[in-house]
Amino acid sequence: MDKKDYLPIIGLEIHIELKTKSKMFCQCQADFFGKEPNSQVCPVCLGLPGALPVPNKKAVEWTILLAKALNCQINHFSKFDRKHYFYPDLPKGYQISQYDQPIANNGFIKIYYEKGLEKKFRIRRVHLEEDTGKLIHQGEETLIDFNRSGLPLVEIVTEPDFNKSEDVKRFLEELQVIIRYLDVSYADMEKGSMRLEPNISIKKLKTQNLKLKTNEIDNLPSYKVEVKNINSFRFVKQAIDYEVERQIKILEKGEMPKQETRGYDSKKGITYSQRSKEEADDYRYFPEPDIPPMVFSSQEIERTKLPELPYQRYQRYLKNFSLRQQEAFLLTRDKKIADFFEEVNNKFQTQSQKLSLKIDNSSQAIANLIVNKKISLNLDVNQFVNKAITLLLPKKTDKELLKKVINKILTENKKAVSDYQNGKKNALMFLVGQVMRELKGKVEVKEVIEELNIRVRS
């Protein structure tokens, strides 16, 4: 059979660690990165006898904000549930999560491709839960660090709408940009504040015809494989492509891939079996009795206002600044850079008006300077604008002055002149340098060379 006869079906589970000041259910500081193990813990996040969780309001608000940005429907009634399983990094023997009434459902992210193409990927649910501690394996021993225990974690579950690893990557990139615009998480895969677990299965298509009947797509395979430990953007494509390939090979042998959880080994570039999931897990969910249900009125939900999101900003750049698509896209990928661009652009426009300078499509020119890193972004706005002006202004050369200086340099450097005339090409550049230095760079190099050439040859 041809590969065309197989359709990968991929759904995503994404965890986002919110960057609130305190943890999800206690007052402990949330920023644990690089802190001494078990230094940011309390009875609550250690699950000590008698300790009780009190939800972090900011985390709930941010989850609503994020869900709104993902075009979700925010539920008026939501509650926390206990999800039971045994693992040493889970101090209470259950995780406080959300089961049948998450904060939000039914959203989507649109991905815009070249040539005006767009794809929509549906989001099934967005819920809030707590992170676990961290196991550190050291030879024979395993140590537990509970600094991460109880951090607020948003789980985003998509519909199985993906067929290509490339789309997954694009989706994640878009999600990351949105989250960073909202400033609710660092969304850093390498540091674990954004984690991806794709569920992958392969559908065998009955027809050779690529035009699929809808019911054929709706009918999902009877198994799925969850892939864990993809801890870098670089590996998203690799891990999924490997797993798709692996499953197709099994199907081609006429066998059925096993329902299981597999880990991704980034060194070998393969996935390996971690845990069989032949039987469905029974987490014995039930409503968390320690936390009253949450009720959100329509007004409260309305009150959560979204900032301008990357795609809207991109559109505005096309419209208001007449930027080319590529620069508009690149600039708006990072909110800080986009903000910087707008500040520089504003200042530049007023400055150039004051000096009655005329530059064609100066916004695009500034966009180019930023995108191509022609000027360091570490400069402050004023310094950047000044540099941009010198770079972008066509230089009017004072011909008289230039001639005068060249005269001076030629008399002072007779040796270089004769060297050049004797065929030492380098000598000319030395002279150019001398002239430029004398004029403190206020002339175009091109003109200096031209003028020098004429004079030295003659």
Name the site residues for another protein (rule: CB under 8 A).
42-43, 47-55, 82, 84, 86, 88, 91-94, 280, 282, 284-286, 289-292
User: How many Å apart are CA 32 and CA 36, to the nearest integer?
Assistant: 8
Shortest distance in whole angstroms from residue 44 CB to another protein:
8
Shortest distance in whole angstroms from residue 147 CB to another protein:
16
Rg over alpha carbons for the chain, rounded to the nearest Å, is 30
Helix locations, 183-232, DSSP H: 214-218
Shortest distance in whole angstroms from residue 280 CB to another protein:
7
User: How many Å apart are CA 151 and CA 133, to the nearest integer?
Assistant: 9
Shortest distance in whole angstroms from residue 152 CB to another protein:
15
Q: Of the two residues 238 and 259, which places its CB atom closer to another protein in the complex? A: 259
User: How many Å apart are CA 25 and CA 59, to the nearest integer?
Assistant: 10
Shortest distance in whole angstroms from residue 227 CB to another protein:
25
Torsion angle, CA of 41/45/49/55, rounded to 10 degrees? 130
C-beta of residue 229 within 8 angstroms of C-beta of residue 263: yes
Q: Of the two residues 42 and 449, which places its CB atom closer to another protein in the complex? A: 42
Q: Of the two residues 139 and 289, which places its CB atom closer to another protein in the complex? A: 289
Q: Of the two residues 292 and 307, which places its CB atom closer to another protein in the complex? A: 292
Q: Of the two residues 243 and 288, which places its CB atom closer to another protein in the complex? A: 288
Shortest distance in whole angstroms from residue 42 CB to another protein:
8
H/E element, 176 = helix 165-182
Write the Ramachandran bin of 317: left for phi over 0, alpha for psi from -120 to 50, otherwise beta. alpha
Residue type, 335: K
Shortest distance in whole angstroms from residue 221 CB to another protein:
22
Chain center to CA of 293:
33
Q: Of the two residues 99 and 233, which places its CB atom closer to another protein in the complex? A: 99
CA distances from 79 to 20, 33, 87, 98, 364 (A): 20, 30, 24, 7, 49
Q: Of the two residues 34 and 49, which places its CB atom closer to another protein in the complex? A: 49
Q: Which two tokens stand for residue 310?
A: 């990357």
Q: Which two tokens stand for residue 2?
A: 């041809």
